[in-house]
């Protein structure tokens, strides 16, 4: 897919999942200031934030991954990252027998390869930098070998 085509990841980052009972954040992505075709990336019509969680059989049955988008004016310098109020957090619950869900649920879809895909519309109030915050419920399994991909699709 070429830049300028629908669904092109203008920005992306990967970060390892935390251990069970812990949380982590991706690197911050600068969504204001960068441009595609001369347009501010966060203002491109139809643009969206996305998260792709790789298929796995590690997430323990009934345990939850909680995912939320955070933002900052300056990548956490003088303006600490905070949750984006207009974007709801998403909970992904392990299926019976362990692993990611097999079917779509509230807030996400599952592709043919078994990856969980989450798409968030970009609110007008989004600050200049965004990151994803990932928390794994206690006893949720050791997901540290997996890296979700977070980014901006334009």
Q: What percentage of the chain exceeds 70 in pLDDT?
A: 85
pLDDT at site 4: 37
Query: What is the value of pTM for the model shown?
Result: 0.86
Mean of the pLDDT values across residues 87-99?
94
| Each residue's pLDDT tens digit, 66-92 | 999 999 999 999 999 999 999 999 999
Map out the domains of the chain as residue ranges: 9-153
CATH of region 9-153: 2.60.120.1110
pLDDT at site 99: 92
Q: Identify whether the C-beta of residue 77 lies closer than 8 Å to the C-beta of residue 132.
A: no
Write down the H helix ranges in 28-150: none
Q: Is 101 exposed, middle or buried (0-12, 13-18, 19+ CB in 10 A)?
A: middle
What Å distances lie between residue 103 and 15, 68, 73, 109, CA to CA?
A: 24, 20, 36, 7
Mean pLDDT of the chain: 86
Q: Identify whether the C-beta of residue 67 lies closer than 8 Å to the C-beta of residue 118.
A: yes
Q: Identify whether the C-beta of residue 120 lies closer than 8 Å to the C-beta of residue 46.
A: no
- Residue 37: which pLDDT band, with cuts at 50, 70 and 90? low
Q: DSSP string spanning 7-18? A: T-EEEEEE-PPP
3-state helix, strand, coil in the chain (%, to 5): 0, 40, 60
């Amino acid at each position: 897919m070429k830049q300028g085509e629908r669904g092109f990841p203008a920005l992306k980052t990967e970060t390892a999942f935390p251990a069970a009972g812990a949380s982590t954040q991706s690197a911050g992505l600068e969504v204001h200031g960068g441009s595609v075709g001369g347009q501010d990336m966060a203002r491109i019509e139809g643009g969206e934030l996305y998260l792709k969680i790789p298929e796995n059989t590690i997430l323990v049955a009934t345990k939850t991954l909680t995912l939320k988008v955070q933002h900052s004016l300056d990548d956490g310098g003088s303006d600490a990252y905070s949750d984006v109020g207009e974007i709801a957090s998403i909970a992904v619950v392990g299926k019976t027998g362990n692993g990611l869900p097999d079917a779509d649920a509230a807030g996400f879809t599952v592709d043919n390869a078994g990856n969980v895909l989450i798409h968030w519309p970009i609110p007008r109030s989004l600050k200049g930098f965004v990151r994803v915050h990932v928390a794994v419920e206690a006893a949720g399994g050791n997901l540290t070998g997996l890296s979700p991909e977070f980014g901006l699709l334009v």
